């Protein structure tokens, strides 16, 4: 027995494909066999499995469990759940050695995929390629595993609520917040959480519906925050929180309807955390604003710029002992009093906590930030075979100049005008650009530099690609 995956589904951070075209039950079975074999060879035997609200998820779950059992590992099923619930089940249970969440994250409804944790660490990059090589060779152990079902929701909600420990109940009781689950897998957990939270809470789209009938669940796209913005304005709420399809990424709107982007949220979390844990290292990805890195340093923290990608950031946190990290995409990782994984529900709780502890409204915290002019992520289609080569060409051309280049992940160039970034996406056939300046004229000059570099490699920004 062997299996060959479609080459497009084995991604850097996870396994992802289009149902019925590049991904199906046979792939899920092979993933189960490979993952279980690797875990057994490392001395483990129990894997927790969850799935998101997509129409295809239950079929993939069935096949995945078959594969895990056939290679001799036992399965603990937690059923339909947000990805952070799977991470929680894996991190908090002593009798679990690994976890697999079936999720298409924020991708269109016809996509699905797998996010994995192996003995407490992210499973990505070479690990995922190994699953492919093992399948090709049929290099799987045989055995017989068991299946048990475990309810984790109540325990998970209790753990989330501990994020408000020690805060004046009266301050929390005065808060009025809007929440948008976007018909994603976080809906049931959000309902259970809101029922227990102090304050007044208004919920949108908590029914799990894998066709996403109201708006696409990607909080990094401003159009997807329109319903939440309207709710905050109509009810005159303090702020609003939105989730992606599987609940591991957060988006936010302040009381005035302004988006609080990923790096701006991290600035709020950093201010709160550094008051309690001075001199901490705080990690952000290369797409984050210079204002964040400057602010962390100002507050006595140690800012660290790192590669984009939730698995890469989690690994860097473990290596450096950083208690907080985040990405522009809304993944935020708390390891001070939590487990260090990305959990948007917990990030929502921590936004309440930060506002209370800093004694400022979320709108005030947003107003206090430096007013930088920056572009959103500009994503444009580039052929898979060209995307990394183009970045190498840009690096080469800049190496002979006096440009200040950071090549942690792609090319980030800093000048008197500000900075610009070009990097290749690890998950799609796109290049990502971003620029930031204090002035419009500076921003225009930075964008011209990006265009000049692209033109020199025979490319142009052209049509923006979707997420």
Using an 8 Å Cβ cutoff, are 204 and 181 in contact?
A: yes
Looking at the domain 156-274+340-367, which fold is it?
Answer: Alpha-D-Glucose-1,6-Bisphosphate; Chain A, domain 3 (3.40.120)
Q: Give the model's pLDDT for residue 466.
A: 40
Q: Give, for all 467 residues of the chain, the pLDDT tens digit.
A: 899 999 889 988 889 999 999 999 999 999 999 999 999 999 999 999 999 999 999 999 999 999 999 999 999 999 999 999 999 999 999 999 999 999 998 888 899 999 999 999 999 999 999 999 999 999 999 999 999 999 999 999 999 999 999 999 999 999 999 999 999 999 999 999 999 999 999 999 999 999 999 999 999 899 999 999 999 999 999 999 999 999 999 999 999 999 999 999 999 999 999 999 999 999 999 999 999 999 999 999 999 999 998 889 999 999 999 999 999 999 999 999 999 999 999 999 999 999 999 999 999 999 999 988 999 888 889 988 899 999 999 999 999 888 999 999 999 999 999 999 999 988 778 999 999 999 999 999 999 999 999 999 999 886 444 43
Say what the pTM is. Answer: 0.94
Per DSSP (E only), the strands in 195-268 are 200-204, 239-243, 250-254, 259-260
And the tokens for 322? Answer: 């950083």
Give the whole-angstrom CA distance, residue 280 versus residue 111.
38
CA distances from 231 to 187, 201, 228, 234, 255 (A): 17, 11, 5, 5, 10
Using an 8 Å Cβ cutoff, are 114 and 103 in contact?
A: yes
Phi, psi dihedral angles at 201 (to 5 degrees)? -130, 130
Q: Residue 223, exposed/middle/buried by CB under 10 A (0-12, 13-18, 19+)?
A: exposed
Q: Degrees (nearest 5) of the Cα angle 10, 317, 42?
A: 55
Q: Give the model's pLDDT for residue 465.
A: 43
Domains 15-151 and 373-456 share a fold: no
Using an 8 Å Cβ cutoff, are 336 and 273 in contact?
A: yes
The catalytic position among 71, 81, 105, 280 is 105
Looking at the domain 373-456, which fold is it?
Answer: TATA-Binding Protein (3.30.310)
Among 102, 70, 73, 76, CA closest to 3? 70
List the chain domain ranges: 15-151, 156-274+340-367, 373-456
Give the whole-angstrom CA distance, residue 285 versus residue 289.
9
Q: Give the model's pLDDT for residue 400.
A: 84
Give the whole-angstrom CA distance, residue 327 versus residue 219.
13
CATH architecture for residues 15-151: 3-Layer(aba) Sandwich (3.40)
Annotation marks residue 425 as catalytic: no
């Amino acid at each position: 027995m062997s299996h060959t995956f479609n080459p497009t589904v084995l991604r850097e951070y996870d396994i992802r494909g289009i149902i019925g075209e590049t991904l199906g039950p046979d792939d899920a079975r092979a993933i189960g066999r490979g993952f279980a074999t690797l875990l057994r060879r490392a001395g483990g035997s129990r894997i927790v499995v969850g799935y998101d609200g997509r129409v295809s998820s239950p079929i993939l779950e069935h096949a995945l469990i078959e594969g895990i059992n056939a290679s001799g590992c036992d399965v603990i099923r937690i059923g339909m759940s947000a990805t952070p619930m799977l991470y929680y089940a894996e991190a908090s249970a002593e009798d679990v050695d690994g976890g697999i969440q079936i999720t298409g994250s924020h991708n269109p409804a016809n996509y699905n995929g797998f996010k994995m944790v192996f003995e407490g660490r992210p499973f990505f990059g070479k690990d995922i390629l190994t699953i492919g090589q093992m399948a090709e060779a049929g290099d799987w152990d045989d055995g017989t595993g068991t299946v048990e079902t475990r309810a984790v929701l109540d325990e998970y909600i209790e753990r989330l609520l501990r994020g408000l420990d020690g805060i004046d109940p009266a301050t929390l009781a005065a808060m009025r917040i809007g929440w948008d689950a976007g018909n994603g897998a976080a809906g049931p957990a959000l309902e259970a959480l809101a029922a227990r939270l102090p304050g007044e809470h208004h919920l949108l789209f908590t029914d799990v519906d894998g066709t996403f009938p109201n708006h696409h669940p990607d909080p990094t796209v401003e159009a997807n925050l329109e319903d939440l913005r309207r709710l905050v304005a109509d009810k005159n709420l303090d702020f609003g929180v939105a989730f992606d399809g599987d609940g591991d990424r957060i988006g936010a709107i302040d009381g005035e309807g302004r988006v609080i982007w990923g790096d701006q949220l991290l600035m709020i979390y950093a201010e709160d955390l550094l008051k309690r844990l001075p001199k901490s290292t705080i990690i952000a990805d290369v797409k984050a604003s210079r204002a964040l890195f400057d602010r962390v340093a100002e507050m006595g923290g140690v800012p660290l710029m790192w590669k984009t990608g939730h698995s890469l950031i989690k690994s860097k946190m473990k290596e450096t002992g950083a208690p907080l990290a985040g990405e522009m995409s809304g993944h935020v990782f708390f390891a001070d009093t939590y487990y260090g994984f990305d959990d948007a529900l917990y990030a929502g709780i921590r936004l309440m906590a930060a506002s209370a502890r800093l004694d400022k409204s979320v709108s005030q915290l947003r107003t206090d930030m430096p007013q930088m002019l920056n572009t959103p992520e500009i994503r444009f289609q580039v052929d898979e075979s060209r995307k990394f080569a183009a970045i190498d060409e840009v690096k080469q051309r800049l190496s002979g100049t006096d440009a200040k280049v950071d090549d942690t992940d792609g090319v980030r160039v800093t000048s008197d005008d500000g900075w610009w970034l070009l990097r290749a996406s690890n998950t799609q056939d796109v290049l990502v650009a971003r620029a930031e300046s204090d002035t419009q004229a500076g921003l225009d000059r930075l964008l011209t530099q990006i265009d000049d570099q692209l033109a020199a490699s025979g490319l142009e920004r052209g049509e923006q690609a979707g997420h």
